[in-house]
Amino acid sequence: MSLLDRHVGFVHALREAGLPVSLAEGLDAARALEVIDLTERESLRAAYAATLVKRPSHRPGFDTLFDLWFPASTTGLRPSHETELDLETAELPELRDRLAGLLLGAEGMNEFARAMVERFGRQAASPGRQNWFSYSVMRALSPETLMARLLAEVLAGQERGGLAEKVARQRIGENTRRFEDAVSRDVRRRIAEDSGIERIARSSVRPPLEQLDFLRITKADLARLRREVHPLARRLAARLTVKHRLGHRGRLDFRRTVRASLSSGGVPLTTFNRPRRPHKPELVVLCDTSDSVAAFAHFTLLLTYALREQFTKVRAFGFVDTVDEITRFFVPGADVAEAMTRLVREADMVRFGRTNYGHALERFAERYGDAIGPKTSLLILGDARSNYQPPALETLKRLTREARHSYWLNPEPTAQWDTGDSVATAYGGIVPMYECRNVAQLAAFIEELA
């Protein structure tokens, strides 16, 4: 494969993995290759990263794909450095001794990892075909079981439990992860050689954080998303404040208008309005908390918590087949994870356990109708799937008429709206409905409000 083919394939793989790489940036990367030494692999990596990577969160996926498209070596190459140990024939205790030295900071970890994959990572699948696995390498060498031995060597009689042990544990732990990553990289490279780079690339890289589907995020992803929520909350509040300001120009300033008319013979060619007093809008959030959108509900509750700092008043309501106010769980200073645990345990949002938007809307109007007013923005978050129950469209119309603005964010792809028990189009005819499956789409929705 020529360098041009690798460049084009690499840029295409980055786009498929969700990294935003434009045509102009791809050309910038190609120009950068003209001024570096292509035999220096890390210079090549740095040139691509400088021209194609926009955010730190994109770097892990970039590095994974770079290692696939520009591998450090090919199968069958021997380690470049000389070592007294023959890695092909050495006994397992000798290999573990060598690994122990690498975990303490010795050089040659990548070469050792490649040799260990060659020796322990291969498993025959069928005649003429083989599979490669990381777990068999890690099981054979068990680097995590070397910690006690390495600590004894490093501390050499020093008191246990102090700063020295903490530093040593951290260094050994980091080197263990480096070894695991080196093994994984080489396994991916070998699979790519056998099955094709494009195939393994599609399965090796998770989408960037801002493009992770809300309905499929994990608890670890939610923890990372917390850092993304507060800037989005500030931008959402700013956009809604602008819409309030533009929606009413303020009262006529009679004195300034008359004074200005003197220059035109008393004809008020230009009118002046009194500046409006700064005003933070009020917000009501109505959130589907059913199991079918549990991960999305967790994210929207994180968003609700962040929005409390941006609006003069925020009231949050959760529902499954009935509704309860959950504002009390998100008081300032509360731990978000603890608030969500209390919400699930204490809030009255479930009667029979099956989502019923119609009953929830009617119950909301009956119990909390006074929450909606002319200064209120209503934000509904849910998939609009009501288990074939009456949707209560008239109730929703009445609520939206009383609110200043109304918006609906739906975590399902637009292609799935109106399938099965979805009544998305019916609700969307009353409240503007937006597909919101990830942080990128939420940010786009906020920008559209401007």
- Kindly give the confidence (pLDDT) of every residue in the chain, 450 residues in length, as a single tens digit, with 9 standing for 90 and above: 788 888 998 999 898 888 889 999 999 999 999 999 888 889 999 999 999 998 888 888 899 899 888 887 554 444 444 446 778 788 888 899 899 989 988 888 888 988 898 888 887 665 556 688 888 888 889 888 888 888 888 887 777 778 888 888 889 989 999 899 888 888 888 887 777 787 777 777 777 777 778 777 777 777 777 777 777 777 776 766 655 444 455 677 778 888 888 888 777 778 877 766 545 568 898 999 887 777 777 777 777 777 766 666 788 899 999 999 988 887 766 666 677 778 778 888 888 878 999 999 999 999 999 999 888 889 999 999 999 999 999 999 999 999 988 999 999 999 999 999 999 999 999 999 999 888 888 888 877 765
> Residue 395 and residue 356: Cα distance in Å, rounded?
14
pLDDT at 366: 94
List the beta bridge partners of residue 131. Answer: 123
| Residue 39, phi then psi, degrees to nearest 5 | -80, -10
Token reading at 316? 């949050």
What are 214-218's contacts with CB under 8 Å, separation 24+?
Answer: 214/293, 214/295, 214/296, 214/299, 214/411, 214/436, 214/437, 214/438, 215/293, 215/295, 215/296, 215/411, 215/412, 215/437, 216/295, 217/295, 217/299
pLDDT at res. 199: 73
95/88 Cα distance (integer angstroms): 10
pLDDT at 408: 94
Q: What is the pLDDT of residue 256?
A: 82
* Pair 17, 201: CB distance under 8 Å: yes
Its pTM stands at 0.64
- SS3 breakdown of the chain: % helix, strand, coil, rounded to 5? 60, 10, 30
CA 77 vs CA 74, 102, 192, 292: distances in Å: 6, 20, 16, 50
Q: Specify the amino acid at residue 367.
A: R
Return the bridge partners of 35, or none.
none
d(CA 230, CA 309): 9
